[in-house]
Structure 1
Amino acid sequence: MVATTRQRALEAAVELLGAEGIRALTHARVDERAGLPLGSTSNWFRTRRSLIGGVVDWIAEQERADLEPAGMPEIRGVEELIDGLCAMVELQAGPFAARTRARYALFLELAGDPGLGEPLRRQRREFERWTEGIVTAVGIMDPVPATRALMALGDGLLLHRLTVDPGLEMRPAIERTVRALAGS
């Protein structure tokens, strides 16, 4: 499938955000990164605010597609939960690292903007509910605080891997935390 101009612009915007941060996000820089004629991005997103909104929606859409239930393995036990969390964090720090960095940059930039930040927060709440369902299915007591602990751990590990220690081995921390929460 050939990517549309809009898709190319959004993909380039996410890469730009992930590599250079929110201040680098301009229509001209997105056009350049996407290899599009000057003005192409502004045809889809007239203002910087609408471009940011488009990127926020795009990231949320891509992450929802990653978590399609049909494509996910069923997690029934502690070992599968550990493996699943490790795989997810590795994806976010590896092939999806630019998107992860872009999401973090947007979370920080849009913390005080209820309109633009809402799709990211809604996506986060959906992910929390999904994770809570898995934590419950595995039999971990007090699934809400356990889910929050696992998500905070994942965010911390990702941030550390993406900023300080690219070689950080994440499995020991995930394994220790899941086992502690499961009481095993």
Structure 2
Amino acid sequence: MSEERRTVLADAAIEVLAASGMRGLTHRAVDRAAGLPAGTTSAYLRTRSALLTALVRRLVARDQAELQEAGERMPFPRTPAELTDALEGLTVARLTGEGRVRSLARYACALESVRDPELREILVPRENAGRELARAFLAAHGVPDPEVRTRSLLACVDGLVLDHLPTGTPVPRDALEGLVAAALRR
């Protein structure tokens, strides 16, 4: 099985899911979105479960690569305002353009994972340079249990993205500032 072809199909499936929701995610719709002959998706990913699993694996891989790169290129934040700047950039990326498409697909998959333990396991938050940057910032500021605070902070940021996703409106900076201030409380 061609890994390149599976990647093309998974990327097309992300687009279909974001545009049409779970009901619209069909093998035929993925074939059309990928510009491939009818039956191609079924040949590579026979079942709906296989299609969803490939989609989620690709979604997580793309998200992880993006967060890793962002964390590596970003200077270490020294102040709460600098951490807020970084979170603001993340929320903008997740609400616009290709990030919006992946966010729509990610949340649909998160809901689907309630009934599918395999998807749930794939979607578990992973380590990356972006997460480590937030954790290191909180630790440097003397926050007790920076790991727990980092998970809480990033979950709240994710919630703000989810809240603003339907309209695509920016997450208000003061909301992010409030989350950073809460994460820093001792």
TM-score band by shorter chain is: 0.7 to 0.9
1:61-115 CA distance string (max 9 Å, x none): 1111112253343333322211111111111111311111111111111123222
In structure 1, give the amino acid aligned to 2:59.
I
- Deviation at residue 20 of structure 1 after TM alignment: 1.7
Given that 1:78 and 1:138 are in contact with CA atoms closer than 8 Å, whether structure 2 keeps it comes out as: no
| Residues in 1 aligned to 2:24 and 2:49: alpha-carbon distance in whole angstroms | 14
Give the aligned length: 179
> SS at 1:74's partner residue?
coil
> SS at 1:67's partner residue?
helix
Which residue does the alignment assign to 2:165? Answer: 162
In structure 1, give the amino acid aligned to 2:104.
R
| Residues in 1 aligned to 2:73 and 2:44: alpha-carbon distance in whole angstroms | 31
Which residue does the alignment assign to 1:97? Answer: 100
1:174 paired with 2:176, answer yes
Which residue does the alignment assign to 1:12? Answer: 12
1:148 paired with 2:142, answer no
TM-score for both structures, normalised by structure 2: 0.83
Given that 1:15 and 1:98 are in contact with CA atoms closer than 8 Å, whether structure 2 keeps it comes out as: yes
Given that 2:138 and 2:146 are in contact with CA atoms closer than 8 Å, whether structure 1 keeps it comes out as: yes
| Residues in 2 aligned to 1:82 and 1:152: alpha-carbon distance in whole angstroms | 15
In structure 1, give the amino acid aligned to 2:20.
E
For structure 2, list consecutive stretches of 5 or more residues without a partner in the other structure. Answer: none
Residue 139 of structure 2: which of 116, 121, 136 is its match? 136
| Residues in 1 aligned to 2:30 and 2:140: alpha-carbon distance in whole angstroms | 43
In structure 2, give the amino acid aligned to 1:126.
E
Identify the range of structure 1 (86-95 vs 128-137) with the bigger mean alpha-carbon deviation: 128-137
Which residue does the alignment assign to 2:72? Answer: 70
| Residues in 1 aligned to 2:185 and 2:136: alpha-carbon distance in whole angstroms | 18
Given that 2:64 and 2:126 are in contact with CA atoms closer than 8 Å, whether structure 1 keeps it comes out as: no
- Deviation at residue 145 of structure 1 after TM alignment: 4.1
1:41-60 to structure 2, matched below 5 A, reads 41-60=41-60
Identify the range of structure 1 (18-27 vs 68-77) with the bigger mean alpha-carbon deviation: 68-77
- Deviation at residue 168 of structure 1 after TM alignment: 4.1
Which residue does the alignment assign to 2:24? Answer: 24
In structure 2, give the amino acid aligned to 1:159.
L
1:118-129 to structure 2, matched below 5 A, reads 118-121=121-124, 124-126=125-127
Q: Percent identity?
A: 37
- Distance 1:101-1:176 versus aligned 2 partners, 3 A rule: same
- Distance 1:134-1:28 versus aligned 2 partners, 3 A rule: farther
- Distance 1:115-1:169 versus aligned 2 partners, 3 A rule: closer
In structure 2, give the amino acid aligned to 1:178.
V
